[in-house]
Amino acid sequence: MNRVAGAELLLDRAGVTAGMNVLDAGCGPGRITLPAARRVGQSGEVVALDIQPDMLQRLRKKLAEQSVSNVRPLLAGIGEGKTTPESFDRAFLVTVLGEIPDKTAALQEIYRALKPGGVLSITEVFPDPDIQMPDTILSLARRTGFLITPKTGGFPAFTINLIKPERS
């Protein structure tokens, strides 16, 4: 996974920089969360959301071991509405979308949680059994109101960045 969809590559693709607030939805044990926390620095924050308590426990252990203080673990399913509206510059769904039963609710929550101009970066990796194909992602994105940017990468890992429009 780290060879084909490494954290630094995915942070670059999403344009994560110092001072940003980042939502890592379906963070697992923190493969993206920890590098994101380092990149945003003390002036930024990462909210690490996962539906599995075990994953957040593993993440908390790493945060303590590495003395990381700018990550806020959040036990929730994405789509349940536990995130703060218009609070994030970037959001990630990395090999998560296929595990979410109500994908529309998930994308709607992330749309609400992003600031205008914020980016949701979705990465899918072959041969994940839950992989979502670009057409499915694009159709969900259009229904939610996101602006679509060209896919980056390809096989075995691709990323699609979706932008929440600026207010007119």
Ligand X SMILES: C[S@@+](CC[C@H](N)C(=O)[O-])C[C@H]1O[C@@H](n2cnc3c(N)ncnc32)[C@H](O)[C@@H]1O
Write the DSSP string, 56-74. HHHHHHHHHHTT--SEEEE
Closest CB to ligand X among 87 and 147? 87
Write the DSSP string, 18-62. TT-EEEEET-TTTTTHHHHHHHH-TTSEEEEEES-HHHHHHHHHH
Q: Could you tell me the smallest distance in angstroms from the CB atom of residue 80 to ligand X?
A: 8
Closest CB to ligand X among 8 and 99? 99
Whole-angstrom distance, CA of residue 161 vs CA of residue 65? 32
Q: Could you tell me the smallest distance in angstroms from the CB atom of residue 166 to ligand X?
A: 27
User: How far from the centroid of its chain's Cα atoms is residue 137's Cα?
Assistant: 14
Q: Could you tell me the smallest distance in angstroms from the CB atom of residue 32 to ligand X?
A: 6
Q: Could you tell me the smallest distance in angstroms from the CB atom of residue 117 to ligand X?
A: 23
Closest CB to ligand X among 38 and 147? 38
Q: Could you tell me the smallest distance in angstroms from the CB atom of residue 97 to ligand X?
A: 9
Closest CB to ligand X among 6 and 147? 6
Neighbours of 154 (CB within 10 A): 9
**Site residues for ligand X per CB under 6 A:** 25-28, 31-32, 49-52, 55, 77-78, 94-96, 99-100
Closest CB to ligand X among 52 and 136? 52
Give the single-character DSSP code of 95: S
Closest Cα to residue 20, out of 42, 40, 39?
40
